[in-house]
Structure formats: C-alpha cells, structure tokens
C-alpha cells in the first residue's frame, strides 16, 4: 500500500485539507543506517518495502517496546508528532471550535475524532487490547453544541500514572452511561416496532398458516370432484405445499411499506370511483362494457431498429400509443401526466429466412417488460421461430421504459382502482394497434394472442374485442382486479378500504369495462385455451376456473405448482404446443 486515503504533510497545519489525523510511516535510508521517521506523501527520502516494517506500533520514536513489538516493530501509520494529547476531564463528544491554535480539532476543518492517548505528548496508545482506538475530541470550550449532548458517555479509558519504564498504563475502566443504555433500548424498541408493522414481515409470518389453510380447503374441495365436474381435484404433496409457500412469501415481499395507501389516498380514490361509476352508468358502459373501448387505427409513426442483448438478437419497435381516458373521466389529468407511458415499446422476434405470415402477440405479466431477452425467452420465442411463428411482446403500460417512477409496474396495481382500470384499457388498446400493424403493414395472415397473469387479463379482453384471431391462450390469468386487490391487501389496509368504499361495489362496476367475465369472447371455442396452477396463490386457480366457465369450458390444463411454476411444467409446454398446432394452419407452424 503506497498511499493512504488521508496523508498528512510535514508541517503542523490546522487546515483539514493539509493536515490528517494519521500519516504514512516510512523508512528512510541515510549514511548512518536505517532509521524510522514520519513523513507526508511529499516527504523526502527513499522508501523501502513494507515487509521490513510492522504494520502498527504505539510509540512515535520507532522503538519496538510497545504493542507494535508483537507485529514486527514499525507501523504503517502513527500519530502525528505535533498532536497534543489533552485531558479527559471535560470530554464531550464534539465541539465546534478549539481553545488553542495547536489543536487540529476545529469542527469546520478537522476530524471530529482523534486517537486515544494516555495524556502524555509523544506517547501513543499503550494497550490496544483494553482501550479503544478512537475517542471524542476533548479539547473543548464551555459552550457550544456539545453541551446539548449532556448525559452521553462513550467508552473511555482511565488515566494512570507512568510506571518505571516511563510508559503509562491505560486500561478500560468505563463504558456506556445509563442515558446511552436508555437511548439504545428506545432505538431497539422502535426498530422492533417498525419491523412488526412492516407488511413484508407480517406477510412472511402468515405464509405458513395461509398455506396450511389452503391445503385443508383443497382436500375438502377435492372430495367434491366426484359430484361436481367443474372441480379439479388437488393431490396435496410436499412439492405442491412448497410452491404455494414460495408464492405467499413473494406476495409478502412485494408489499413494500411505501406502496401502502394512506387514509387520504383511499378517500380520494373512492370519490373518483363514485364519479366514474355515475359517468359509466349514464353512458351505458356498465351494461355494455365492450362499447367503452374504441377501435384503434394502426400506428402511424412506428420506428424499428435492430438490437442484441444477452446472446439474443431481436427487433425493437416504438410508436405513440394514442390512448387516453374519455375527457370527462376522473383521473384524466393524473393518467396523462405519465409522459413516458405515452410511447409503446415492443420486442419483435422474426423467423429467420423466408417471410412468414404467422404471428403471436404476447402480453407479459406484472413486473416484466424490463429485459427484452428475458421476456422473449419467457414466451419461448426461439422455439416458436422454429415452428414458423413470429413473436412480438409489447411492453404493458407503466412497465419497463414506459414507467415514470417505479419500473416494475407497481403504479398499475395500487388502491386507486381508476388508475388500474385505465392501465388495463390502454394495454388492450396498444395490443390491438400492434395487431393492426401486423395485418396491414407486415402482411400477417394469422395473429394469435397469449398472456401470462396480468397479461392473461389483457389477452382475454382483446379476445372479446377483436375478430379473426388465430387463438387466445390465457395462462394463470387474472380476471377480476378488485377481487385480487382485496385478497392481497394486509388486514389494516383491507379495513381502511372497506371503510372508505374504495374496494366496494363501485370498483366492481367500473372494472366491468376491463373484465373478460363481462364480455363475450369472439374467438371460436375450439381455439380458446387456459392453463393454471393448482397451488397458485397470486392470481389463484379460482380466477382461471371462472374464465373457463365463462368461456363455455374450452381446453384447460392444470399443473401441480404455483404462480410461476408453469415455466418448468412439461404439461403446460405440451398444452401450448398443441394449442398452436391446432390454431395455425400453415405447415411450418403445424
């Protein structure tokens, strides 16, 4: 180590920029032999390898009769020789100015702490095992900010007279004062109280009981499968319980305290919901929710360019969304303030070689949209390319490059059910614009849609608004956002939401315009597909079952796993492959 963070100069200056508490100790050769001296970074004399010297010692004269003798005899660092060791009698933790011009302890231009000594100039710490290396500045006046810290005592060393060798004995004889112990106890209590109120911790603690309750209910429902053909029996295994537990833990971790609403948030959100419900009722959109959605034109300003990331080449597309809430809707100004959200980004993976006219539009889940390579791999773009199917993954509103604050989409899943409704409606609009771009400018002959989780909700809505889709595949779908928010809200937030009415009937009525359960699917029955996890604790198996019943019981696949377990499920892979084989008529896709 040739240099230190702070290196003092050879002069005893009081300016902090030119004076350090410690300086580098070097060895300088001279005509009479090798001697030990202290010097700054710019000091004279050649340096010798550090292997000839010890790292630390106590004395400033280079002798090896102190604790440094145990380390070899010479320190890398030592106290500055011009430093004066003051008395400990009137020590305070810190002081704004000094009483003598020789001290380096002015608050404005020097360190707040200095090395502990035994009170004799030129002699360093003599007992490293029993004394702290640092102590508060003790050269203080009778006035100053230090007086406000009365009652605070740091670990100190009792001064003792020098022994026969002339070296003082310093041993620890003090400790924390009663006031410091009290402050430490208060800080510990407040920290424990904050931890106990953290929804992430309480969620993790509730994970195991929640899984136990889920297993018990699953066994009860499985017994009903013999008399109810809409019930899927669940074989409760340790692996199933583990995946359910991991889902519960992940849900708990996502409950960041900063995302939890306050009472004022719930009150204003509930007021917006009531006004919006009145508007929707007047326009007839609650009874005819599909009419809320306007038919979008193809994008007119789309730009594309090649990119490469994480070993995967793809094409990036960007265009203006063009979607906005109806002018009279509450929350219009708030939603349009998300400027980055007004540009749609999409990752495109084309089949190499000859031109292929089969496309699959993929709607990702909550928290995705940040990594193009990861998103494309999640939808198995390479495998689909070998089947002759091009893939496009649009980034959903308030995700990835479209986010204005948090990048994981949390702004889309808040207690403000007006914002969440606007986000899902815009997502459906953006996907439909991409479908028009594929058909009118890319020569697409067949376009299907697939979605995971939140993307399953978007894909299901698009299937209720678009004609002539090759297929719709809803994976682990969410179909009822108000229900999902109610289920995952911590108990205190659920009570607050119930009192304010923000998750009451008004939320259900408003969200009918973005609920696939309130609209008819336009895709033929034989090209509708759903898969879900039996141990899914996020969107839950119940959401998929409700969609399956509403869609007149199309092809359905369940797997014994949690929310993200389908990534590793061979049954789901075979199910999706079969869905694509049955839906796409060209030979390559089949």
pLDDT tens, 326-362? Answer: 989 998 999 999 999 999 999 999 988 767 789 999 9
Q: Beta strands of 321-410 (E only): which ranges?
A: 343-349, 358-363, 389-394
pLDDT band at 561 (very low <50, low <70, confident <90, very high): confident
| Range among 52-61, 86-95, 205-214, 235-244 with highest mean pLDDT value | 235-244
> What secondary structure letter does DSSP report for 61?
S
Q: Find, among 323, 325, 324, 330, the residue nearest to 278 by Cα.
A: 330
Sign of the alpha-carbon dihedral angle for 331, 337, 342, 346 = negative
Q: What count of Cα atoms within 13 Å lies in the side-chain half-sphere of residue 457? A: 26
Among the residue ranges 267-271, 367-371, 402-406, the one predicted with the least confidence is: 402-406
Distance from chain centroid for Cα 564: 18
Tokens of 119: 């009170």
Query: How far apart, in whole angstroms, are the C-alpha atoms of residue 225 and residue 316?
Result: 47
Q: Say if residue 198 is exposed, middle or buried (CB neighbours under 10 Å; 0-12, 13-18, 19+).
A: middle
Per the CB < 8 A criterion, the answer to whether 531 and 557 are in contact is yes
Query: How far apart, in whole angstroms, are the C-alpha atoms of residue 24 and residue 12?
Result: 15
Q: Please tell me whether the overall predicted TM-score, pTM, comes out greater than 0.75 for this model.
A: no
What are phi and psi for residue 329, nearest 5 degrees? Answer: -75, 135
| Average pLDDT, integer, range 391-409 | 83
CB count in 10 Å sphere of residue 340: 14
CA angle 516, 522, 524 (to 5 degrees): 120
Place of tokens 């929350």: 331
CB count in 10 Å sphere of residue 127: 17
| 225 or 39, higher pLDDT | 225
| Range among 96-100, 133-137, 212-216, 539-543 with highest mean pLDDT value | 539-543
> What secondary structure letter does DSSP report for 162?
B
Among the residue ranges 54-68, 225-239, 314-328, 357-371, the one predicted with the least confidence is: 54-68
CB count in 10 Å sphere of residue 349: 25
| 280 or 240, higher pLDDT | 280
CB count in 10 Å sphere of residue 77: 16
| 119 or 504, higher pLDDT | 504
CB count in 10 Å sphere of residue 371: 14
Q: Find, among 268, 298, 285, 363, the residue nearest to 326 by Cα.
A: 285
Per the CB < 8 A criterion, the answer to whether 483 and 538 are in contact is no
Place of tokens 């580098």: 24
Place of tokens 């923000």: 502
Q: Find, among 106, 112, 158, the residue nearest to 132 by Cα.
A: 158
Per the CB < 8 A criterion, the answer to whether 74 and 53 are in contact is yes
* Per-residue model confidence as pLDDT tens digits over 467-502: 999 999 999 999 999 998 888 777 777 777 777 778
Residue 98 has pLDDT above 70, yes or no: no
What pLDDT sits at residue 538? 85
Express as a percent the part of the chain with pLDDT over 70: 61
Reported as type and span, the H/E element at residue 464 is: helix 454-465
Name residue 308's beta-bridge partners.
Answer: 313
| Average pLDDT, integer, range 128-135 | 44
Q: Say if residue 442 is exposed, middle or buried (CB neighbours under 10 Å; 0-12, 13-18, 19+).
A: middle
CB count in 10 Å sphere of residue 236: 17
Tokens of 53: 């010297």
Residue 536 has pLDDT above 70, yes or no: yes
**Mean pLDDT over each residue of the chain, to the nearest integer:** 73
Distance from chain centroid for Cα 474: 27
């Amino acid at each position: 180590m040739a240099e230190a963070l702070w290196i003092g100069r050879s002069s005893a200056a009081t300016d902090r920029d030119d004076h350090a508490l410690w300086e580098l100790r070097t060895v300088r050769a001279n005509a009479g032999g090798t001697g030990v001296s202290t010097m700054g970074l710019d000091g004279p004399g050649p340096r010798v390898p550090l292997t000839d010297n010890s790292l630390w010692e106590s004395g400033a004269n280079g002798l090896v009769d102190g604790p440094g003798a145990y380390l070899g005899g010479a320190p890398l660092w030592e106290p500055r020789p011009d430093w004066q060791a003051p008395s400990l009698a009137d020590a305070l933790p810190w002081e704004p100015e000094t009483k003598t011009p020789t001290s380096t302890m002015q608050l404005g231009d020097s360190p707040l702490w200095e090395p502990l000594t035994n009170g004799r100039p030129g002699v360093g710490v003599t007992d490293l095992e029993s004394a702290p290396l640092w102590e508060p500045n003790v050269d203080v006046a009778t006035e100053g900010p230090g007086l406000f810290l009365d009652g605070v005592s740091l670990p100190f060393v009792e001064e003792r007279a020098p022994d026969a060798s002339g070296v003082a004995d310093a041993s620890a004889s003090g400790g924390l004062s009663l006031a410091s112990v009290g402050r430490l106890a208060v800080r510990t209590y407040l920290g424990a109280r904050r931890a106990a109120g953290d929804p992430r911790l309480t969620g993790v603690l509730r994970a195991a009981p929640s899984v136990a309750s889920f297993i018990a209910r699953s066994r009860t429902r499985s017994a009903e499968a013999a008399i109810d053909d809409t019930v899927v029996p669940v074989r409760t295994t340790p692996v199933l319980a583990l995946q359910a537990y991991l889902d519960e833990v992940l849900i708990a971790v996502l409950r960041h305290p900063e995302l939890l609403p306050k009472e004022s948030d719930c009150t204003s959100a509930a007021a917006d919901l009531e006004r919006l419900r009145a508007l929707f009722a007047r326009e007839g959109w609650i009874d005819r929710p599909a009419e809320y959605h306007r038919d979008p034109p193809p994008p007119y300003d789309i730009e594309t360019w090649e990119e490469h990331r994480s070993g995967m080449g793809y094409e990036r597309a960007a265009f203006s969304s063009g979607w906005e809430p109806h002018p009279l809707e509450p929350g219009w100004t708030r939603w349009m303030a998300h400027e980055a959200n007004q540009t749609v980004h999409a990752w495109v993976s084309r089949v190499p070689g000859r031109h292929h006219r089969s496309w699959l539009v993929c709607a990702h889940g909550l928290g995705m949209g940040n990594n193009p390579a990861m998103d494309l791999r999640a939808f198995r773009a390479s495998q689909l390319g070998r089947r002759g199917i091009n893939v496009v993954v649009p980034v959903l509103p308030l995700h990835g490059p479209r986010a204005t604050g948090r990048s994981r989409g949390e702004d889309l899943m808040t207690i403000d059910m007006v914002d969440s409704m606007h986000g899902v409606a815009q997502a459906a609009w953006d996907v439909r614009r991409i479908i028009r771009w594929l058909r009118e400018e890319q020569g697409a002959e067949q376009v299907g849609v697939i979605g995971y989780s939140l993307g399953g909700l978007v894909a299901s809505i698009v299937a209720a608004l678009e004609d002539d889709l090759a297929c719709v595949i809803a994976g682990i779908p969410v179909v009822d956002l108000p229900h999902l928010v109610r289920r995952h809200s911590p108990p205190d937030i659920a009570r607050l939401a119930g009192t304010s009415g923000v998750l009451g009937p008004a939320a259900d009525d408003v969200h009918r315009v973005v609920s696939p359960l309130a609209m008819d699917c336009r895709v033929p029955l034989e090209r509708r597909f759903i898969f879900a996890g039996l141990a899914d604790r996020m969107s839950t198996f119940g959401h998929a079952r409700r969609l399956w019943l509403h869609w007149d019981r199309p092809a359905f696949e369940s797997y014994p796993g949690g929310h993200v377990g389908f990534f590793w499920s061979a049954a789901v892979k075979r199910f999706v492959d079969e869905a694509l084989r049955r839906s796409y008529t060209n030979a390559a896709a089949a």
